[in-house]
Amino acid sequence: MSERINVLVVGSGAREHALAAAIRTSPLCGDLFVYPGNAGTAQITSAARELPKGSAPGISANLYGQYRDLMRFARLNKVEYMVIGPEQPLADGLIDEIRQCTSIKVFGPSRNAAKLEWSKLWSRDQLPRWIKRPKLLMYGHLKNQAGIDSHIRCLQKRSVGKVVVKRDGLAQGKGVAICANLNQVREQLVRFLEDLYEYGEWILYEECVVGEEVSMHYLVDGRCCCLPLISARDYKRAFDNDQGPNTGGMGSYAPRALNFELLQALDEIAVCSIQTLSEHHNPFQGCFFPGFMLTDDGPVLLEVNARFGDPETQSILPLMKTDPLELLRATGEQALPAWIEWYPETVAVSVVLVSAGYPGSHITGHPITGLETVERMENIHVFHAGTALADGQVVTAGGRVLTVTAYRRYLCCSSSESVCSGGQHPLRRYAVPY
Protein backbone atom coordinates (compact mmCIF):
# COMPACT_ATOMS: atom_id res chain seq x y z
CA MET A 1 0.00 0.00 0.00
CA SER A 2 1.18 3.54 -0.73
CA GLU A 3 2.39 5.68 2.14
CA ARG A 4 -0.16 7.75 3.97
CA ILE A 5 -0.20 11.49 3.34
CA ASN A 6 -1.17 14.38 5.55
CA VAL A 7 -4.07 16.30 4.05
CA LEU A 8 -5.37 19.80 4.62
CA VAL A 9 -8.78 20.91 3.39
CA VAL A 10 -9.05 24.71 3.13
CA GLY A 11 -12.37 26.32 4.04
CA SER A 12 -14.99 26.35 6.74
CA GLY A 13 -18.24 25.38 5.05
CA ALA A 14 -20.35 22.24 4.88
CA ARG A 15 -18.72 21.44 1.52
CA GLU A 16 -15.32 21.33 3.22
CA HIS A 17 -16.75 19.20 6.05
CA ALA A 18 -18.12 16.78 3.42
CA LEU A 19 -14.77 16.72 1.58
CA ALA A 20 -12.89 16.09 4.83
CA ALA A 21 -15.32 13.36 5.92
CA ALA A 22 -14.90 11.60 2.56
CA ILE A 23 -11.10 11.98 2.53
CA ARG A 24 -10.89 10.60 6.06
CA THR A 25 -12.29 7.26 4.84
CA SER A 26 -9.31 6.81 2.51
CA PRO A 27 -6.57 4.38 3.58
CA LEU A 28 -4.16 6.90 1.99
CA CYS A 29 -5.08 9.61 4.50
CA GLY A 30 -2.61 10.24 7.31
CA ASP A 31 -3.27 13.28 9.48
CA LEU A 32 -6.26 15.28 8.32
CA PHE A 33 -6.77 18.99 8.96
CA VAL A 34 -9.37 21.58 7.96
CA TYR A 35 -8.35 25.23 8.08
CA PRO A 36 -9.95 27.36 9.42
CA GLY A 37 -12.70 24.70 9.82
CA ASN A 38 -15.69 24.79 12.13
CA ALA A 39 -17.12 22.96 15.15
CA GLY A 40 -18.01 19.95 12.99
CA THR A 41 -14.68 19.54 11.24
CA ALA A 42 -12.94 19.81 14.62
CA GLN A 43 -14.55 16.47 15.54
CA ILE A 44 -12.99 14.55 12.64
CA THR A 45 -9.56 16.12 12.28
CA SER A 46 -6.21 15.36 13.89
CA ALA A 47 -4.87 17.41 16.77
CA ALA A 48 -3.02 20.27 15.12
CA ARG A 49 0.17 21.94 16.32
CA GLU A 50 -0.27 25.56 17.34
CA LEU A 51 0.96 28.35 15.06
CA PRO A 52 4.18 29.94 16.32
CA LYS A 53 4.83 33.67 16.11
CA GLY A 54 7.10 34.90 13.32
CA SER A 55 7.60 34.59 9.61
CA ALA A 56 6.91 31.78 7.18
CA PRO A 57 10.04 31.23 5.14
CA GLY A 58 9.46 30.27 1.53
CA ILE A 59 6.01 31.82 1.32
CA SER A 60 5.84 34.79 -1.01
CA ALA A 61 4.83 38.22 0.21
CA ASN A 62 1.66 37.96 -1.90
CA LEU A 63 0.27 35.49 0.58
CA TYR A 64 -0.92 37.88 3.19
CA GLY A 65 -3.36 37.70 6.10
CA GLN A 66 -5.17 34.42 6.46
CA TYR A 67 -3.11 32.74 3.72
CA ARG A 68 0.14 33.39 5.53
CA ASP A 69 -1.34 31.79 8.62
CA LEU A 70 -2.76 28.99 6.53
CA MET A 71 0.62 28.23 4.99
CA ARG A 72 2.34 28.40 8.36
CA PHE A 73 -0.26 25.97 9.67
CA ALA A 74 0.40 23.67 6.69
CA ARG A 75 4.16 23.69 7.21
CA LEU A 76 3.94 23.19 10.94
CA ASN A 77 1.64 20.21 10.54
CA LYS A 78 3.68 18.66 7.73
CA VAL A 79 0.85 18.85 5.24
CA GLU A 80 1.64 17.12 1.94
CA TYR A 81 -1.60 17.56 0.07
CA MET A 82 -4.13 20.40 0.05
CA VAL A 83 -7.67 20.64 -1.28
CA ILE A 84 -9.03 24.17 -1.67
CA GLY A 85 -12.80 24.31 -1.14
CA PRO A 86 -14.03 27.89 -1.71
CA GLU A 87 -13.66 30.12 -4.75
CA GLN A 88 -12.03 33.15 -3.10
CA PRO A 89 -8.59 31.59 -2.52
CA LEU A 90 -8.62 30.40 -6.15
CA ALA A 91 -9.33 33.94 -7.32
CA ASP A 92 -6.58 35.20 -5.02
CA GLY A 93 -4.05 32.89 -6.68
CA LEU A 94 -3.44 30.69 -3.64
CA ILE A 95 -2.91 27.60 -5.78
CA ASP A 96 -0.32 29.32 -7.98
CA GLU A 97 1.56 30.47 -4.89
CA ILE A 98 1.54 27.03 -3.30
CA ARG A 99 2.81 25.45 -6.51
CA GLN A 100 5.54 28.06 -6.94
CA CYS A 101 6.70 28.35 -3.35
CA THR A 102 6.23 24.95 -1.70
CA SER A 103 6.48 21.24 -2.40
CA ILE A 104 2.90 20.68 -1.24
CA LYS A 105 0.66 19.12 -3.88
CA VAL A 106 -2.66 20.90 -4.25
CA PHE A 107 -6.03 20.23 -5.88
CA GLY A 108 -7.55 23.08 -7.86
CA PRO A 109 -7.10 25.43 -10.80
CA SER A 110 -4.70 28.33 -11.28
CA ARG A 111 -5.97 31.88 -10.77
CA ASN A 112 -6.13 32.35 -14.54
CA ALA A 113 -8.18 29.22 -15.14
CA ALA A 114 -10.45 30.04 -12.17
CA LYS A 115 -11.22 33.39 -13.82
CA LEU A 116 -14.12 31.56 -15.47
CA GLU A 117 -15.78 31.89 -12.09
CA TRP A 118 -14.42 35.15 -10.75
CA SER A 119 -15.30 37.18 -13.83
CA LYS A 120 -18.61 36.39 -15.48
CA LEU A 121 -17.94 38.84 -18.31
CA TRP A 122 -14.58 37.23 -19.04
CA SER A 123 -16.15 33.79 -18.96
CA ARG A 124 -18.74 34.84 -21.56
CA ASP A 125 -15.95 35.97 -23.82
CA GLN A 126 -13.83 32.84 -23.43
CA LEU A 127 -16.23 29.99 -24.02
CA PRO A 128 -17.22 28.76 -27.48
CA ARG A 129 -19.93 30.92 -29.10
CA TRP A 130 -22.11 27.94 -30.00
CA ILE A 131 -22.85 27.26 -26.32
CA LYS A 132 -26.26 28.65 -25.42
CA ARG A 133 -26.05 31.25 -22.65
CA PRO A 134 -28.80 33.51 -21.28
CA LYS A 135 -29.01 36.55 -23.56
CA LEU A 136 -26.88 39.42 -22.24
CA LEU A 137 -29.25 42.41 -22.33
CA MET A 138 -26.74 44.94 -21.13
CA TYR A 139 -23.74 45.40 -18.86
CA GLY A 140 -22.33 48.44 -17.19
CA HIS A 141 -19.90 49.55 -14.51
CA LEU A 142 -21.39 50.50 -11.15
CA LYS A 143 -19.70 52.48 -8.43
CA ASN A 144 -22.17 55.04 -7.11
CA GLN A 145 -25.79 56.24 -7.04
CA ALA A 146 -25.36 58.02 -10.37
CA GLY A 147 -24.41 54.66 -11.87
CA ILE A 148 -27.65 53.13 -10.59
CA ASP A 149 -29.70 55.90 -12.23
CA SER A 150 -27.83 55.51 -15.49
CA HIS A 151 -28.27 51.70 -15.55
CA ILE A 152 -31.99 52.05 -14.87
CA ARG A 153 -32.37 54.61 -17.68
CA CYS A 154 -30.63 52.28 -20.14
CA LEU A 155 -32.81 49.35 -19.07
CA GLN A 156 -35.93 51.53 -19.43
CA LYS A 157 -34.96 52.26 -23.04
CA ARG A 158 -34.69 48.53 -23.69
CA SER A 159 -38.09 48.03 -21.96
CA VAL A 160 -36.93 44.84 -20.24
CA GLY A 161 -39.29 42.90 -17.99
CA LYS A 162 -37.99 40.21 -15.67
CA VAL A 163 -34.21 40.41 -15.58
CA VAL A 164 -31.37 38.60 -13.88
CA VAL A 165 -28.88 41.02 -12.34
CA LYS A 166 -25.37 39.66 -11.69
CA ARG A 167 -22.22 41.04 -10.21
CA ASP A 168 -19.25 40.22 -12.42
CA GLY A 169 -17.07 39.06 -9.54
CA LEU A 170 -17.40 36.79 -6.52
CA ALA A 171 -20.05 37.70 -3.97
CA GLN A 172 -20.36 34.69 -1.65
CA GLY A 173 -23.50 33.46 -3.38
CA LYS A 174 -25.18 36.86 -3.11
CA GLY A 175 -24.19 38.27 -6.47
CA VAL A 176 -27.22 37.15 -8.48
CA ALA A 177 -30.80 38.39 -8.19
CA ILE A 178 -33.90 37.74 -10.24
CA CYS A 179 -35.82 41.01 -10.52
CA ALA A 180 -39.41 41.19 -11.73
CA ASN A 181 -39.27 44.91 -12.61
CA LEU A 182 -37.01 47.96 -12.60
CA ASN A 183 -37.94 48.91 -9.03
CA GLN A 184 -36.55 45.59 -7.87
CA VAL A 185 -33.45 46.14 -10.02
CA ARG A 186 -32.91 49.50 -8.35
CA GLU A 187 -33.29 47.99 -4.87
CA GLN A 188 -30.85 45.23 -5.76
CA LEU A 189 -28.27 47.68 -7.11
CA VAL A 190 -28.49 49.63 -3.87
CA ARG A 191 -27.75 46.40 -1.98
CA PHE A 192 -24.84 45.57 -4.30
CA LEU A 193 -23.44 49.09 -3.84
CA GLU A 194 -23.27 48.60 -0.06
CA ASP A 195 -20.81 45.73 -0.62
CA LEU A 196 -18.65 47.25 -3.37
CA TYR A 197 -15.24 48.83 -2.96
CA GLU A 198 -14.85 52.42 -4.13
CA TYR A 199 -13.70 51.33 -7.59
CA GLY A 200 -17.04 49.56 -8.13
CA GLU A 201 -17.79 46.53 -10.28
CA TRP A 202 -19.25 45.47 -13.60
CA ILE A 203 -22.90 44.43 -13.50
CA LEU A 204 -24.48 42.10 -16.06
CA TYR A 205 -28.17 42.12 -16.98
CA GLU A 206 -29.33 38.85 -18.49
CA GLU A 207 -32.62 37.50 -19.73
CA CYS A 208 -34.32 35.20 -17.22
CA VAL A 209 -34.33 31.60 -18.50
CA VAL A 210 -36.88 29.20 -17.11
CA GLY A 211 -36.47 25.50 -16.49
CA GLU A 212 -34.81 23.10 -14.08
CA GLU A 213 -31.26 23.58 -12.93
CA VAL A 214 -28.61 20.86 -13.17
CA SER A 215 -25.15 20.99 -11.66
CA MET A 216 -22.42 18.98 -13.35
CA HIS A 217 -18.96 18.39 -11.94
CA TYR A 218 -15.93 17.21 -13.91
CA LEU A 219 -12.52 16.22 -12.61
CA VAL A 220 -10.07 17.68 -15.10
CA ASP A 221 -6.42 16.69 -15.14
CA GLY A 222 -5.12 19.75 -17.02
CA ARG A 223 -3.42 17.67 -19.70
CA CYS A 224 -5.57 15.11 -21.41
CA CYS A 225 -8.62 13.85 -19.58
CA CYS A 226 -11.86 14.83 -17.94
CA LEU A 227 -14.15 12.59 -15.89
CA PRO A 228 -17.70 13.50 -14.81
CA LEU A 229 -19.11 13.01 -11.33
CA ILE A 230 -22.81 12.19 -10.95
CA SER A 231 -25.23 14.95 -11.81
CA ALA A 232 -26.91 16.96 -9.06
CA ARG A 233 -29.55 19.58 -8.63
CA ASP A 234 -29.29 22.49 -6.24
CA TYR A 235 -31.90 24.92 -5.01
CA LYS A 236 -30.67 28.47 -4.66
CA ARG A 237 -33.70 30.46 -3.56
CA ALA A 238 -34.67 30.88 0.08
CA PHE A 239 -38.16 30.30 1.54
CA ASP A 240 -40.80 27.72 0.67
CA ASN A 241 -41.69 27.24 -2.99
CA ASP A 242 -38.61 29.17 -4.12
CA GLN A 243 -40.20 32.51 -3.20
CA GLY A 244 -37.17 34.05 -1.50
CA PRO A 245 -33.97 35.73 -2.61
CA ASN A 246 -31.08 33.87 -4.24
CA THR A 247 -28.59 32.38 -1.79
CA GLY A 248 -25.41 30.35 -1.88
CA GLY A 249 -27.63 27.23 -1.93
CA MET A 250 -30.45 25.95 0.27
CA GLY A 251 -30.47 22.28 -0.69
CA SER A 252 -29.52 19.70 -3.27
CA TYR A 253 -29.98 16.14 -4.37
CA ALA A 254 -27.96 13.68 -6.41
CA PRO A 255 -28.08 12.02 -8.78
CA ARG A 256 -30.34 14.16 -10.95
CA ALA A 257 -31.59 11.53 -13.43
CA LEU A 258 -31.03 12.60 -17.03
CA ASN A 259 -31.26 10.63 -20.22
CA PHE A 260 -27.98 9.63 -21.78
CA GLU A 261 -28.37 11.90 -24.81
CA LEU A 262 -28.81 14.95 -22.61
CA LEU A 263 -25.89 13.94 -20.40
CA GLN A 264 -23.71 13.72 -23.48
CA ALA A 265 -24.90 17.15 -24.62
CA LEU A 266 -23.91 18.63 -21.23
CA ASP A 267 -20.60 16.78 -21.36
CA GLU A 268 -19.89 18.17 -24.82
CA ILE A 269 -20.40 21.73 -23.58
CA ALA A 270 -18.08 21.08 -20.64
CA VAL A 271 -15.37 19.33 -22.64
CA CYS A 272 -15.35 22.00 -25.38
CA SER A 273 -15.15 24.74 -22.73
CA ILE A 274 -12.23 23.03 -21.02
CA GLN A 275 -10.48 22.58 -24.34
CA THR A 276 -11.02 26.21 -25.30
CA LEU A 277 -9.44 27.33 -22.03
CA SER A 278 -6.45 25.23 -22.83
CA GLU A 279 -6.19 26.66 -26.34
CA HIS A 280 -6.17 30.09 -24.69
CA HIS A 281 -3.19 28.95 -22.57
CA ASN A 282 -5.22 28.57 -19.38
CA PRO A 283 -5.31 24.79 -18.89
CA PHE A 284 -7.81 23.90 -16.21
CA GLN A 285 -6.92 21.41 -13.50
CA GLY A 286 -9.35 20.65 -10.70
CA CYS A 287 -13.11 20.50 -10.48
CA PHE A 288 -14.92 22.15 -13.39
CA PHE A 289 -18.51 22.83 -12.37
CA PRO A 290 -20.93 24.23 -14.95
CA GLY A 291 -24.48 25.06 -13.86
CA PHE A 292 -27.14 24.51 -16.51
CA MET A 293 -30.79 25.39 -16.94
CA LEU A 294 -32.73 22.74 -18.83
CA THR A 295 -35.17 24.73 -20.95
CA ASP A 296 -37.70 23.70 -23.59
CA ASP A 297 -35.08 24.78 -26.15
CA GLY A 298 -32.30 22.66 -24.68
CA PRO A 299 -29.64 23.22 -22.03
CA VAL A 300 -28.50 26.78 -21.32
CA LEU A 301 -25.18 27.32 -19.56
CA LEU A 302 -25.93 29.68 -16.65
CA GLU A 303 -22.51 29.86 -15.00
CA VAL A 304 -19.19 28.12 -14.69
CA ASN A 305 -17.50 27.47 -11.37
CA ALA A 306 -13.97 26.35 -10.71
CA ARG A 307 -14.53 24.21 -7.60
CA PHE A 308 -16.96 21.78 -6.00
CA GLY A 309 -20.53 23.04 -5.51
CA ASP A 310 -22.00 23.79 -2.12
CA PRO A 311 -24.42 22.10 -1.26
CA GLU A 312 -24.03 19.72 -4.25
CA THR A 313 -20.86 18.17 -2.78
CA GLN A 314 -22.74 17.19 0.38
CA SER A 315 -25.12 15.10 -1.78
CA ILE A 316 -22.54 13.73 -4.23
CA LEU A 317 -19.70 12.55 -2.00
CA PRO A 318 -21.68 10.18 0.27
CA LEU A 319 -22.60 8.25 -2.90
CA MET A 320 -19.01 7.79 -4.07
CA LYS A 321 -17.49 4.34 -3.70
CA THR A 322 -14.13 5.11 -5.32
CA ASP A 323 -11.49 6.33 -2.87
CA PRO A 324 -11.99 10.13 -2.97
CA LEU A 325 -8.43 11.00 -1.97
CA GLU A 326 -6.98 8.69 -4.60
CA LEU A 327 -9.27 10.30 -7.16
CA LEU A 328 -8.27 13.86 -6.26
CA ARG A 329 -4.59 12.96 -6.35
CA ALA A 330 -5.03 11.12 -9.65
CA THR A 331 -6.49 14.31 -11.13
CA GLY A 332 -3.25 16.19 -10.50
CA GLU A 333 -1.09 13.30 -11.70
CA GLN A 334 -2.89 12.77 -15.02
CA ALA A 335 -3.89 9.32 -13.79
CA LEU A 336 -7.68 9.50 -13.69
CA PRO A 337 -9.30 6.05 -13.64
CA ALA A 338 -11.55 4.73 -16.41
CA TRP A 339 -14.58 5.61 -14.32
CA ILE A 340 -15.72 6.43 -10.82
CA GLU A 341 -17.70 3.87 -8.84
CA TRP A 342 -20.89 4.99 -7.10
CA TYR A 343 -23.22 3.22 -4.72
CA PRO A 344 -25.82 1.84 -7.10
CA GLU A 345 -29.42 3.04 -7.01
CA THR A 346 -28.77 5.30 -4.07
CA VAL A 347 -29.84 8.90 -3.80
CA ALA A 348 -28.83 11.63 -1.39
CA VAL A 349 -30.84 14.69 -0.41
CA SER A 350 -29.35 17.65 1.44
CA VAL A 351 -31.18 20.42 3.26
CA VAL A 352 -29.35 23.53 4.44
CA LEU A 353 -30.28 25.00 7.81
CA VAL A 354 -29.68 28.75 7.92
CA SER A 355 -29.83 31.58 10.44
CA ALA A 356 -33.03 33.65 10.41
CA GLY A 357 -32.52 36.55 8.02
CA TYR A 358 -30.04 34.76 5.71
CA PRO A 359 -28.95 35.76 3.05
CA GLY A 360 -29.43 39.18 4.66
CA SER A 361 -28.18 40.17 8.10
CA HIS A 362 -28.58 37.61 10.83
CA ILE A 363 -27.71 37.12 14.47
CA THR A 364 -25.22 34.41 15.45
CA GLY A 365 -24.23 32.78 18.74
CA HIS A 366 -27.43 30.75 19.22
CA PRO A 367 -26.85 27.33 20.82
CA ILE A 368 -27.56 24.34 18.55
CA THR A 369 -29.07 21.36 20.33
CA GLY A 370 -30.00 17.85 19.22
CA LEU A 371 -26.93 17.30 17.05
CA GLU A 372 -25.94 14.07 18.81
CA THR A 373 -29.38 12.57 18.22
CA VAL A 374 -29.25 13.29 14.48
CA GLU A 375 -25.65 12.13 14.15
CA ARG A 376 -26.60 8.74 15.65
CA MET A 377 -29.25 8.19 12.95
CA GLU A 378 -28.47 5.76 10.17
CA ASN A 379 -27.74 7.11 6.69
CA ILE A 380 -27.68 10.72 7.87
CA HIS A 381 -24.72 13.09 7.81
CA VAL A 382 -24.66 16.46 9.52
CA PHE A 383 -22.13 18.71 7.78
CA HIS A 384 -21.27 21.88 9.66
CA ALA A 385 -20.80 25.31 8.07
CA GLY A 386 -21.32 28.41 10.25
CA THR A 387 -20.78 26.75 13.62
CA ALA A 388 -18.33 27.36 16.43
CA LEU A 389 -17.65 26.04 19.90
CA ALA A 390 -18.38 28.38 22.80
CA ASP A 391 -17.65 26.91 26.26
CA GLY A 392 -18.12 23.40 24.91
CA GLN A 393 -21.47 24.24 23.29
CA VAL A 394 -21.94 24.27 19.49
CA VAL A 395 -23.35 27.66 18.49
CA THR A 396 -24.33 29.31 15.22
CA ALA A 397 -21.57 31.39 13.66
CA GLY A 398 -22.75 32.24 10.14
CA GLY A 399 -25.60 32.42 7.63
CA ARG A 400 -25.55 28.84 6.40
CA VAL A 401 -25.22 26.79 9.57
CA LEU A 402 -25.60 23.07 8.79
CA THR A 403 -26.30 20.80 5.85
CA VAL A 404 -28.22 17.67 6.80
CA THR A 405 -27.79 14.94 4.18
CA ALA A 406 -29.84 11.75 4.05
CA TYR A 407 -29.14 8.93 1.61
CA ARG A 408 -30.81 5.62 0.87
CA ARG A 409 -31.17 2.96 -1.78
CA TYR A 410 -34.24 3.05 -3.92
CA LEU A 411 -35.59 0.14 -5.86
CA CYS A 412 -37.86 1.65 -8.48
CA CYS A 413 -35.34 2.56 -11.11
CA SER A 414 -35.55 1.45 -14.74
CA SER A 415 -32.29 0.20 -16.22
CA SER A 416 -31.92 3.21 -18.53
CA GLU A 417 -32.27 5.63 -15.59
CA SER A 418 -29.68 3.75 -13.59
CA VAL A 419 -27.13 4.12 -16.38
CA CYS A 420 -27.93 7.74 -16.97
CA SER A 421 -28.06 9.00 -13.42
CA GLY A 422 -24.66 7.57 -12.51
CA GLY A 423 -21.35 8.87 -13.75
CA GLN A 424 -19.71 5.52 -14.40
CA HIS A 425 -20.51 4.98 -18.04
CA PRO A 426 -17.24 4.24 -19.87
CA LEU A 427 -18.30 6.48 -22.75
CA ARG A 428 -18.24 9.42 -20.36
CA ARG A 429 -14.47 9.56 -19.83
CA TYR A 430 -13.29 12.26 -22.21
CA ALA A 431 -9.98 12.89 -23.84
CA VAL A 432 -9.25 16.59 -23.98
CA PRO A 433 -6.51 17.04 -26.57
CA TYR A 434 -4.36 19.94 -25.36
- Which residue ranges make up the site for ligand GLY (CB under 6 A)? 234, 249, 305, 309-310, 312
**Selection from 317, 341, 263, 358 nearest residue 85 by Cα:** 317
The least CB distance from residue 236 to ligand GLY, in Å, is: 7
Q: Provide the 8-state DSSP code for 43.
A: G
Q: In terms of CB distance, is 217 or 429 closer to ligand GLY?
A: 217
Q: What are phi and psi of 385, to 5 degrees?
A: -125, -95
The verdict on whether omega for the bond into residue 344 sits within 30 degrees of 0, i.e. cis, is no
**Closest CB to ligand GLY among 13 and 283?**
13
Q: CB-wise, 72 or 233, nearer to ligand GLY?
A: 233
Q: What is the CA radius of gyration of the chain?
A: 21
CB of 232 vs ligand GLY, minimal distance in Å: 9
Nearer CB in complex with ligand GLY: 250/394: 250
Cβ(80)–Cβ(23) below 8 Å: no
Please report the DSSP string for 65-111 in residue order.
Answer: HHHHHHHHHHHHTT--EEEE-SHHHHHTTHHHHHHHH-S-EEES--H
- Report in angstroms how near the CB of residue 161 gets to ligand GLY at its nearest: 26
Q: Which is nearer to ligand GLY, 124 or 236 (CB)?
A: 236
Q: What is the smallest separation between the CB atom of 174 and ligand GLY, expressed in angstroms?
A: 11
Nearer to ligand GLY, 147 or 318 (CB): 318
Q: Least distance (Å) from ligand GLY to the CB of residue 248?
A: 6
Residue 102 or 315 with smaller CB distance to ligand GLY: 315
In angstroms, give the least distance from the CB of 117 to ligand GLY. Answer: 8
Report CA dihedral (323, 329, 330, 333) to the nearest 10 degrees: -170
**Shortest separation between residue 327's beta carbon and ligand GLY, angstroms:** 19
Cis ω for the linkage preceding 324 (within 30 of 0): no
Neighbours of 29 (CB within 10 A): 21
Please list, in sequence order, all residues whose beta carbon lies within 8 angstroms of the beta carbon of residue 391, skipping any fewer than 6 positions away. none
Q: Which of 116, 114, 164 is nearest to 137 (CA)?
A: 164
Given the complex with ligand GLY, which of 26 and 313 has the nearer CB atom? 313
- Min CB(403)–ligand GLY separation in Å: 11
- HEC string of 157-192 equals HCCCCCEEEEECCCCCCCCEEEECCHHHHHHHHHHH
- Residue 42 is given by DSSP the state G
